[in-house]
Structure 1
């Protein structure tokens, strides 16, 4: 008969995600993880094969949480332009700690570059899922003649998705919230149709 788990796996994963988010993969030690989760290394190994496996699962959790937040914004009963503004506002970090940490997905893309297929898969998946949500909002705006039809919904979604990623890099590089907000709100303003101005 197998021994029962001695810890809450979901909670340990969320706590580990926070550590990786703060320190990055390479700078995170198992001591950092065991100290934060209060779970012994051997117990963590029983569920997660190694630090890399734990990191990949933490990255997937971060993606799922981020995409769920965007889906919630997209489902609100407001104008598509208000939805796009809300998505942009959600990109801006609320305090110094979150500003310093930046985006776990962008941080991981910068840390690993093109060297890790599985990390790149998570980064690409989040990018694609974000773009699909943006495209849905933009198409809704085009149908209501609020968003320009000079470009397809897919092209505009790709444009805005890149602006959001750029904003996360700006934050990490020390740009002020005002500078970043100006870039994002300009990106949305450029998509507004003549009828909605």
Structure 2
């Protein structure tokens, strides 16, 4: 008979995601993970197999949490431009503890990897965010609240790229004011 699991898997996964987000995949050792989570190495291996498998689960968790927040903002009763402003605000304002860490997905993309599953998870996040933006923009165009000089798909790709660039700026230490100026300009470009 196998022994019962001695730790909360979801809690350990959340804590591990935080470590990867702060240190990156390559900079995170298994010792960092076990020290942070207080889970023994053998117990970790029984549940997550290896560091890569744990990292993939952490990326998926981050994507799911991020997309959930954005979908919630997109579903609110508000004008389309207000929804986009809320998305811009939440994209950069995760609280003081995350300032300077950027975005786990962007950080993972910049860290570079030949791992197709990691690349697929990163691309999935970017695509899901772009779809949310595109839906809001299309609605705004239908209501004549957003420019129709470009298609909703083109504008969503543009705004998504601006958000990703802002995350890179954040990670590289740009001031909050400079990042806000870039994003406010991006929003102004899609106004009617």
Q: Name the TM tier (shorter chain).
A: over 0.9
Aligned-pair CA distance for 1:97: 3.8
Aligned equivalent of 1:68:
68
Aligned equivalent of 2:50:
50
Aligned-pair CA distance for 1:93: 3.5
Q: Deviations over 1:8-28 (max 9, x none)?
A: 111110010001111111111
SS in 2 for 1:26: helix
Are residues 1:153 and 2:157 paired? Answer: no
SS in 2 for 1:25: helix
Q: Deviations over 1:21-44 (max 9, x none)?
A: 111111111111111111100001
Aligned equivalent of 1:190:
189
Aligned-pair CA distance for 1:94: 5.3
Aligned equivalent of 1:102:
102
Cα separation, 1, equivalents of 2:44 and 2:171: 31
TM-score (norm 1): 0.94
TM-score (norm 2): 0.96
Cα separation, 1, equivalents of 2:125 and 2:144: 28
Cα separation, 2, equivalents of 1:96 and 1:81: 26
Aligned equivalent of 1:22:
22
Structure 1 stretches of at least 4 aligned residues deviating more than 4 Å after TM superposition: none
Aligned equivalent of 2:9:
9
Cα separation, 2, equivalents of 1:57 and 1:149: 39
RMSD between aligned alpha carbons? 1.2
Cα separation, 1, equivalents of 2:145 and 2:93: 28
Q: Is the 8 A contact 1:59 1:105 kept in 2?
A: yes
Q: Deviations over 1:28-68 (max 9, x none)?
A: 11111111111100001011010111011001101111111
Where does the alignment leave 5 or more consecutive residues of structure 2 unmatched?
none
